[in-house]
């Protein structure tokens, strides 16, 4: 099953599903959420790591819940 924002490539992160154009795995996102981080917290973490490029990440499209 294909998703427009997720890709699998055996040459990237051992073929784990990642956000397209990044090395951010779905597993990492789920672990951060399970640890109590909010989507905003996670986005801030990646903005610090990736600078302005994170602004264009598909992760920006995750809905924010109060």
Instruction: Spell out the domain ranges in the chain.
Output: 6-61
Query: Which pLDDT belongs to residue 66?
Result: 46
DSSP of the chain: --BTTEE--TTSGGG--EETTS--BHHHHHHHHHTT--HHHHHHHHHHHHGGGGGGSGGGGSPP--
Residue 56, pLDDT score: 52
Query: Closest Cα to residue 22, out of 64, 60, 34?
Result: 60
Q: Which of 1.10.287, 1.10.10, 2.60.40, 1.10.15 would CATH assign to domain 6-61?
A: 1.10.10
pLDDT of residue 54: 46
- Residue 52 confidence (pLDDT): 47
Flag residues of the chain having pLDDT under 70: 1, 47-66
């Amino acid at each position: 099953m294909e998703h427009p924002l997720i890709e699998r490539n055996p040459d990237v992160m051992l073929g784990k599903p990642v956000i397209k154009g990044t090395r951010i795995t779905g597993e990492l996102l789920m672990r951060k959420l399970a640890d109590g981080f909010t989507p905003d917290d996670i986005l801030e973490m990646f903005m610090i790591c990736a600078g302005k490029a994170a602004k264009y990440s598909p992760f920006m499209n995750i809905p924010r819940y109060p």
